[in-house]
């Protein structure tokens, strides 16, 4: 009996995969059945709060003053709603997915490379945005994104966003780069001092560059690569590996590498660029002409949440202008709430982070989960799924 169940579960999962077709709108030709997540219902009204909420979050998203007494937006939430916050910091998107599968958590701050997986597997429930009053102030560019919604149904509340920028040492890298070629074709000039983000999702950065420089590959979406496009991106990264000094995943490591000059050019986040500059490194960061990849985090509610009412209260709390401003400034990302910019302590903050600049965000391809059914709507080929990206990343690093 037991053995029988397993193939059936596998078959069900395979069926789910088949059903998980493209979900990007505006894709030519395909009937766009979309990702077909399990039929879950969002609540229509909220009940009494349960007195507790269990969260999975990125470090710095749920701060109760225990790391730094001045950084605290949890205590007021607990006082106002009576929901005690228990949070678990996850180190990676993969860990978030795994934790959500335990069913012991109510909500998660998922990045785009995790959110689709959670939606497809039925671990994340659709969210009734009408129950989140502050949702109306969220920037329109973050609503109904390919990474946080399916067929117009939101699966969470946007938290904030950031772009993966090109950072360079202004003294060592001349002339100032305007293109990602500085870390690909032109990387040999800085051999041993090029840096890149240490994650399989970085393959999309190479694909984004190829999209602009090798039109014959016909890359439309850096997260939807067929085998040929994928191989081209991997080959580019293997060549880049010869010039890379180190890959970074810990942002403090990158700050120290740019300060000492061990790294002079590579991908970064705005918060790293600001921190490195404030500590005396001669660096500048920009979005190159090819555009850039980026990330946007979404607070999603578990389909098996034991404290759904408290979870909704938290979703509303985290996008309320003041809290959203606090968390965005502390973490170093563009806030999701349009009213947050009036609440930041540094009045220049939203300008630096381009919070309200929708033209800027048009150039950003937000992280998404690569799946076999091409996200760009092609149905005549199969795309390379994320598991293969992970394997390729190991091979790229050698």
Partner 1 sequence: MTTDATAAAGRGTVRRLAGTLHRRPRLRLTLLLTAPLLWLAVLYLGSLAVLFVSAFWTTNSFTSQVVKVWSTDNFHELLTTPVFRQVVLRSAGVALAVTVLCALIAFPVAFYTARVARPRWRPLLVVAILTPLWASYLVKVYAWRLILSQGGLADWTLAPFGLSGPGFGLPATVLTLTYLWLPYMILPIHTALEQLPANLLDASADLGARAGRTFRSVVLPMVLPSVAAGSVFTFSLSLGDYITVQIVGGKTQLIGNLVYSNIELNLPMAAALGTVPVVVIVLYLLAIRRTGALHSL
Residues making contact with partner 1 (CB under 8 A):
6-7, 9-10, 13, 16-17, 20, 92, 94-95, 97-98, 101, 117, 120-121, 192, 241, 244-247, 250, 253, 256-257, 260-262, 371-372, 385-388, 390, 393-395, 397-398
CB of 16 to partner 1, least distance (A): 7
CB of 3 to partner 1, least distance (A): 9
For residue 175, whether the previous peptide bond is cis, meaning omega lies within 30 degrees of 0, is yes
Which DSSP string corresponds to 213-249?
Answer: H-GGG--S-TT--BHHHHHHHHHHHHHHHTTEEEEE-
Q: Which of 287, 300, 317, 337 has the alpha carbon at shortest distance from 161?
A: 337
Per DSSP, which regions of the chain are E strands? Answer: 52-57, 84-89, 107-110, 124-125, 149-150, 153-154, 157-163, 165-169, 194-197, 244-248, 265-268, 283-286, 292-302, 334-335, 364-366
Surface-to-core class of residue 130, CB atoms within 10 Å of its CB (0-12 exposed, 13-18 middle, 19+ buried): exposed
**Is the Cβ of residue 160 or residue 245 nearer to partner 1 in the bound state?**
245
Residue (20 or 334) nearer to partner 1, CB? 20
The residue (of 275 and 318) whose beta carbon lies closer to partner 1 is: 275
Cβ(337)–Cβ(330) under 8 Å? Answer: no
CB 309 within 8 A of CB 198: no
Minimum CB distance to partner 1, residue 331 (Å): 22
Closest to partner 1 by CB, 86 vs 101, is 101
Shortest Cβ 263–partner 1 spacing (Å):
9
Detail the DSSP E strand segments found in 101-218. Answer: 107-110, 124-125, 149-150, 153-154, 157-163, 165-169, 194-197
Closest CB 81 distance from partner 1, rounded Å: 32
Residue 197 structure tokens = 């983000």
- Shortest reach from residue 162's CB to partner 1, in Å: 22
**Residue whose CB is less far from partner 1, 207 or 244:** 244
By beta-carbon proximity to partner 1, the closer residue of 110 and 287 is: 110
Q: Which two tokens stand for residue 108?
A: 């998660």
Nearer Cβ to partner 1, position 10 or 188?
Answer: 10
Could you give the angle at the alpha carbon of 374 between the alpha carbons of 368 and 379, nearest 5°? 160
Minimum gap (Å) between residue 389 Cβ and partner 1: 10
**Are the C-beta atoms of 387 and 374 separated by less than 8 Å?**
no
Least distance (Å) between residue 120 CB and partner 1: 7
| Cβ nearer to partner 1, comparing 352 with 387 | 387
C-alpha span between 318 and 322 (Å, rounded): 9
At 80, list the tokens: 């106002």
Q: Least distance from C-beta 168 to partner 1, angstroms?
A: 15
CB nearer to partner 1: give 346 or 395.
395
> Cα 364–71–310 angle (5° rounding)?
80
């Amino acid at each position: 009996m037991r053995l029988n169940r397993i193939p059936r579960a596998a078959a069900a999962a395979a069926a789910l995969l088949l059903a998980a077709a493209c979900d990007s709108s505006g894709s030519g030709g395909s009937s766009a059945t979309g990702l077909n997540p399990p039929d879950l219902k969002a609540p229509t009204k909220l009940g009494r709060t349960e007195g507790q909420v269990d969260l999975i979050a990125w470090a710095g998203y749920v701060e109760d003053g225990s790391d730094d007494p001045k950084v605290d937006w949890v205590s007021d939430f607990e006082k106002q709603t009576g929901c005690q916050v228990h949070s678990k910091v996850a180190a990676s998107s993969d860990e978030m997915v795994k934790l959500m599968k335990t069913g012991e958590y109510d909500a998660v701050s998922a990045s785009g490379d995790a959110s689709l997986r959670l939606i497809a597997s039925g671990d994340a429930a659709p969210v009734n945005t009408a129950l989140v009053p502050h949702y109306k102030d969220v920037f329109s560019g973050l609503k109904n994104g390919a990474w946080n919604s399916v067929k117009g149904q939101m699966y969470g509340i946007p938290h904030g966003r950031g772009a993966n920028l090109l950072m360079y040492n202004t003294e060592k890298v001349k002339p100032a780069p305007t293109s990602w070629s500085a870390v690909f074709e032109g990387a040999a000039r800085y051999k041993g001092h090029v840096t890149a983000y240490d994650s399989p999702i970085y393959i999309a950065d190479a694909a984004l560059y190829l999209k602009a420089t090798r039109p014959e590959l016909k890359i439309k979406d850096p997260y939807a690569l067929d085998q040929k496009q994928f191989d081209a991106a991997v080959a580019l990264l293997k060549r880049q590996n010869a010039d890379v000094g180190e890959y970074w995943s810990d942002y403090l490591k990158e700050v120290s590498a740019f300060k000492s000059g061990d790294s002079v050019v590579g991908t970064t986040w705005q918060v790293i660029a600001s921190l490195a500059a404030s500590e005396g490194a001669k660096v500048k960061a920009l979005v190159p002409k090819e555009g850039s990849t980026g990330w946007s985090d979404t607070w999603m509610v578990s389909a098996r949440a034991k404290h759904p009412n408290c979870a909704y209260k938290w979703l509303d709390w985290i996008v309320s202008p003041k809290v959203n401003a606090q968390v965005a400034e502390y973490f170093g990302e563009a806030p999701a709430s349009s009213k947050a910019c009036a609440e930041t302590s540094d009045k220049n903050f939203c300008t630096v982070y381009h919070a309200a600049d929708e033209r800027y965000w048009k150039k950003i391809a937000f992280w998404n989960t690569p799946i076999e059914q091409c996200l760009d709507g092609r149905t005549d080929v199969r795309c390379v799924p994320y598991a293969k990206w992970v394997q390729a990343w190991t091979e790229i690093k050698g």
